[in-house]
């Protein structure tokens, strides 16, 4: 018994059959009891009356007293010229569905097929491969299955064998590829016994040889393999790998066949067994696409030659990344085939990404007109923006792709580009040998050098080193969405919004080349590491910016990953966070009192001696970020007499307090 697609003229996999709830009809039909009176009949409710020509028995429940007197007798199948079938009892029958009487048509129903095999009943097929009825249907031969249904019901009404029709919700099986209603059909096909293969695939996950990410899909994987059925692997298609079976001309193909790697080998085997005059022909069917795909991890690498260079180097691999919707179609099958043919799991990790849906969460389809063409999207927003948007999704969770997301990440790409332009503009000229020697001599991997940096520089380098550790850990755990968000927040929230602005005080207003050089060095160090961390997400813009930087000796794609566990100063990070809080408070006060954006104002800042010391050292940065008059910033340990306009305190647990007033 297979799932047959009348439109495609081929068997299809169980997994390629999609069930949908659709309105249908329940037909009630009289089956007269042979040898009885006109009142002796059984009424059967069925959704597919055209299959009655394939009935081989009528079944009732053993405890159903309504029909017990008919068990052991014969029923007459309507419109079949008086064909008789036995009336039997079986616990499989549902007394509460329809009339409690079941017609058994094992040639056209999966459950009936299993029941008939158990009871030893014959199999009767009434359907051609194109969905029309065959000669078993008598006068209805040649009619399409749905046309036959209408004509049969009309004829049943004329002969008083039709009882009634009533609406009934049906679970209709449809082909995933063609969309037509699937016909359960008994057909000669090649199958693979799955249980032994499934047991090995289950054991691989249980022993930790295979890890599925996200973990929740492991339960789905286990459930499917535990309840797996034998796999029909032959397809009646025009393309694909041919079934490696040859038959003997003049012999019964079910009894006599040869399995071989080639036609020459098959003919040689046939001659050894049947003589030199024998003729052979190959099975016309091809392998199921998913069967061929399951061989992909090793068949592409020179297998079965296990000494092939590619096979030795690339099998098994580390990780398979694919959509969660083909966990059964492909992933589980690759695992089973890999273990069976090579003895090894083909990959250590399976990373399942989500599906891309439209902004309303709907699956993309031509019918809905909501398909987003990647090429059009790239043209409008850029390749890197699209990649970054998709990569920010959570593993195994579908992503709603909206214009807003793409627009935001296009702005992020532009921000990265503009930051790169700024860094390039402020770096020493390429012919400034001494300047570049000083830059290359900086050792940010030593704690002593880090602690000698001014506060903003120490802060941003420390934050970068924290980011490298966090991102590396997230990469190792395959938390790619977290990686993207962490880099985004650091680049935009810390580097672009704060440090680039703070560095302008060093480069443009300090008047000291050594101070400017420190800022240039930090800008380059932080920016090039951001490019490294971001490269897997946004390869094009990062590579372009990387190669535009002076003294690049190799492409970004082959450069080394940033070193982890680098020094950082949490105390100095907190100090700069205090400076940030002070800046935000001043900005808020300016906005509250509608101070003109370009107006430089006077400020009095009050704090403890420790706080005033490190804040005053960065008054140029504070003045630039807060639009203060550098010559009129006053620091004190108590509020001045004119302190009447505003007063802000924070950081009470650390006993750090700032106050400021505007004159």
Structural domain boundaries enclosing 157:
20-172
Tokens at 481, concatenated: 């969405």
- Element housing 352 (H / E): strand 347-353
- Residue 1 domain flag: no
Question: Does 488 share its domain with 423?
Answer: yes
- What CATH number is associated with residue 416? 1.10.730.10
**Nearby residues of 428 by Cβ (< 8 Å), 6 or more positions away:** 435, 436, 439, 517, 520
Which of the listed residues 513, 534, 568 is the one where a domain comes to its end?
568
Q: Are 34 and 76 in contact (CB under 8 A)?
A: yes
663, pLDDT greater than 70: no
Question: Does 563 share its domain with 414?
Answer: yes
**Quick one: average pLDDT of 230-236?**
93
- Element housing 570 (H / E): helix 570-592
- Residue 585 domain flag: no
Question: Does 463 share its domain with 601?
Answer: no
Burial of 388 (0-12, 13-18, 19+ CB in 10 A): buried
Which of the listed residues 119, 145, 172 is the one where a domain comes to its end?
172
pLDDT tens-place string over residues 339-348 = 999 999 999 9
pLDDT tens-place string over residues 158-217 = 999 999 999 999 999 999 877 899 999 998 899 999 999 999 999 999 999 999 999 999
- Residue 271 domain flag: no
Which of the listed residues 552, 568, 584 is the one where a domain comes to its end?
568
- Residue 51 domain flag: yes
Distance CA 603, CA 606 (A): 10
pTM here is 0.77
pLDDT tens-place string over residues 50-105 = 999 999 999 999 999 999 999 999 999 999 989 999 999 999 999 888 899 999 99
**Which of residues 200 and 250 earns the better pLDDT score?**
200
Query: What pLDDT score was predicted for residue 641?
Result: 59
Tokens at 580, concatenated: 């940030």
Question: Does 441 share its domain with 525?
Answer: yes
Query: What pLDDT score was predicted for residue 365?
Result: 75
**In angstroms, how far apart are the furthest CA atoms of the chain?**
119
Question: Does 547 share its domain with 417?
Answer: yes
Question: Does 397 share its domain with 348?
Answer: no
Question: Does 494 share its domain with 606?
Answer: no
3 state SS of 127? strand
Distance CA 99, CA 111 (A): 18
Distance of CA 506 to the CA centre of its chain: 47
Do β-strands 317-323 and 347-353 pair in parallel, antiparallel, or remain unpaired? parallel
- Residue 414 domain flag: yes
Question: Does 390 share its domain with 522?
Answer: yes
pLDDT tens-place string over residues 447-503 = 999 999 999 999 999 999 999 999 999 999 999 999 999 999 999 999 999 999 999
Distance CA 58, CA 465 (A): 77
pLDDT tens-place string over residues 559-588 = 999 999 999 999 999 999 999 999 999 999
Question: Does 129 share its domain with 206?
Answer: no
Shortest CA distance to 136 belongs to which of 210, 73, 79, 66? 79
- Number of domains composing the chain: 4
Q: Could you write out the DSSP letters of every residue in 444-501?
A: TTSHHHHHTS-HHHHHHHHHHHHHHHHHHHHHHTT-HHHHHHHHHIIIIIIIIIIIHH
- What CATH number is associated with residue 323? 3.40.50.620
List the end-to-end C-alpha distance of the chain, in Å, as a whole number. 90
Question: Does 157 share its domain with 200?
Answer: no
3 state SS of 605? strand
- Residue 136 domain flag: yes
- What CATH number is associated with residue 44? 3.90.740.10
Tokens at 40, concatenated: 């002796």
- Residue 632 domain flag: yes
Question: Does 564 share its domain with 598?
Answer: no
Q: What is the CA radius of gyration of the chain?
A: 38
Question: Does 553 share its domain with 616?
Answer: no
- Residue 578 domain flag: no
């Amino acid at each position: 018994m297979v799932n047959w697609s009348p439109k495609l003229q081929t068997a299809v996999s169980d997994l390629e059959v999609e069930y949908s709830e659709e309105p249908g009809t329940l037909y009630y039909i009289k089956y007269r009891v042979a040898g009885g009176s006109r009142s002796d009949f059984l009424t059967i409710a069925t959704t597919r009356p055209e299959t009655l020509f394939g009935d081989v028995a009528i079944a009732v429940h053993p405890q159903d007293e309504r029909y017990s007197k008919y068990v052991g007798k014969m029923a007459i199948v309507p419109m079949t010229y008086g064909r008789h079938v036995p009336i039997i009892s079986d616990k499989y029958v549902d007394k509460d569905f329809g009339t409690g009487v079941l017609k058994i048509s094992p040639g056209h129903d999966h459950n009936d097929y299993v029941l008939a095999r158990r009871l030893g009943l014959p199999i009767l097929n009434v359907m051609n491969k194109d969905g029309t009825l065959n000669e078993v249907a008598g006068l209805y031969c040649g009619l399409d299955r749905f046309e036959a249904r209408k004509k049969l019901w009309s004829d049943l009404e004329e002969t008083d064998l039709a009882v009634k029709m009533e609406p009934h919700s049906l679970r209709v099986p449809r082909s995933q590829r063609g969309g037509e209603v699937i016909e359960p059909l008994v057909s000669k096909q090649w199958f693979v016994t799955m249980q032994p293969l499934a047991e090995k695939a289950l054991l691989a996950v249980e022993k930790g040889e295979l890890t599925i990410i996200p973990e929740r899909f492991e339960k789905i994987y286990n459930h499917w393999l535990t309840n797996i059925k034998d796999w029909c692997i032959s397809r009646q298609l025009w393309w694909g790998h041919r079934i490696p079976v040859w038959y003997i001309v003049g012999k019964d193909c079910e009894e006599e066949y040869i399995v071989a790697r080639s036609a020459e080998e098959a003919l040689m085997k046939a001659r050894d067994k049947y003589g030199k005059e024998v003729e052979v022909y190959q099975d016309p069917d091809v392998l199921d696409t998913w069967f061929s795909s399951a061989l992909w991890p090793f068949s592409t690498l020179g297998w079965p030659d296990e000494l092939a260079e590619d096979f030795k180097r690339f099998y098994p691999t580390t990780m398979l990344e694919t959509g969660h919707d083909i966990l059964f179609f492909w992933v589980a099958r690759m695992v089973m085939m890999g273990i069976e043919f090579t003895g090894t799991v083909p990959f250590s990790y399976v990373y399942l990404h989500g599906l891309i849906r439209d902004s309303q969460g709907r699956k993309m389809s031509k019918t809905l007109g909501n398909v987003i063409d990647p090429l059009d999207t790239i043209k409008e927003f850029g390749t890197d923006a699209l990649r970054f948007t998709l990569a920010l999704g959570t593993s195994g969770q579908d992503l709603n792709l909206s214009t807003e997301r793409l627009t935001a990440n296009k702005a992020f790409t532009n921000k990265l580009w503009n930051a790169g332009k700024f860094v390039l503009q402020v770096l020493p000229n390429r012919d400034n040998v001494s300047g570049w020697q000083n830059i290359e001599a900086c050792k940010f991997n030593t704690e002593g050098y880090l602690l000698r940096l001014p506060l903003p520089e120490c802060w941003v380098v420390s934050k970068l080193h924290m980011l490298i550790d966090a991102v590396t850990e997230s990469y190792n755990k395959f938390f790619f969405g977290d990686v993207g968000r962490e880099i985004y927040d650091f680049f935009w929230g810390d580097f672009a919004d704060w440090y680039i602005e703070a560095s302008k005080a060093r480069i443009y207003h300090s008047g000291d080349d050594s101070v400017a050089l420190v800022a240039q060095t930090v800008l380059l160090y932080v920016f090039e590491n951001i490019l490294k961390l971001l490269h897997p997400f946004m390869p094009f813009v990062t590579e372009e910016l990387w190669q535009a930087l002076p003294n690049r000796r190799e492409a970004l794609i082959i450069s080394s990953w940033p070193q982890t566990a680098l020094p950082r100063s949490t105390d100095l990070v907190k100090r700069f966070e205090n400076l940030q809080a002070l800046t935000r408070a001043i900005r808020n006060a300016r906005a509250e009192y509608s101070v003109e954006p370009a107006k430089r104002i006077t400020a009095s800042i009050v704090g403890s001696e420790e706080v005033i010391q490190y804040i005053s050292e960065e008054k140029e940065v504070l003045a630039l970020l807060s639009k203060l008059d550098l010559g009129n910033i006053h620091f004190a340990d108590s509020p001045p007499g004119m302190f009447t306009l505003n007063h802000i305190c924070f950081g009470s647990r650390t006993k750090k307090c700032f106050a400021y007033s505007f004159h």
